[in-house]
Amino acid sequence: MANRPTVQGWGVTAPDITGKMADGSDYFPPESYAEWSVNSGVFEGAPAQTTVSRGAESGRRHFLCGVSASFNTARIGVMRVYAGSTEIWAGYVHNFRDIQFDHPIAIPENMPVSAELGGSQTGQLSALSIHGYTI
């Protein structure tokens, strides 16, 4: 099948109808799994921000599959995702939010990915995690 389409952004060819690649190997789309996760653990209140980060890897790029954030009591906060120091996504968290991106967010090569959750108050617990893969 010479006319296999290219999966946008990954530079790989898509499988034929059998789910096999041209070389006969099984096809696993890049967005189907995460190979790492970074978790904040439970974080208490002040300072009012929880942060997690996956460091840059030389010659490689991260793909962020999803983020998750929660508070232990009724609270609204802002969750932000960064590629290096550039904000690439933001959204509100009301008590709990778990986001699985339809297509992973591609982070530029040699750049860390991080997330922060703001809005905790003294005595309040929060947790934050990111997960993805690196190629």
Model confidence pLDDT, tens digit, residues 79-112: 999 999 999 999 999 888 999 888 889 999 999 9
Q: How far apart are CA 118 and CA 68, in angstroms?
A: 13
**pTM above 0.75?**
no
Asked which of 25-34, 42-51, 117-126 is least confident by mean pLDDT, the reply is: 25-34
Tokens (6 digits) for 88: 């690439």
Q: How far apart are CA 93 and CA 73, in angstroms?
A: 12
31 φ, ψ to 5°? -80, 5
Give start-end residues of each CATH 2.60.120.680 domain in the chain.
Answer: 33-134
Tell the CATH topology of 33-134: Jelly Rolls (2.60.120)
Q: Residue 65: name the closest of 129, 121, 132, 134 by CA.
A: 132
Tokens (6 digits) for 116: 């922060």
Q: How far apart are CA 81 and CA 99, in angstroms?
A: 12
Identity of the residue numbered 102? D
Rg (CA), the chain: 18
Q: How far apart are CA 54 and CA 112, in angstroms?
A: 6
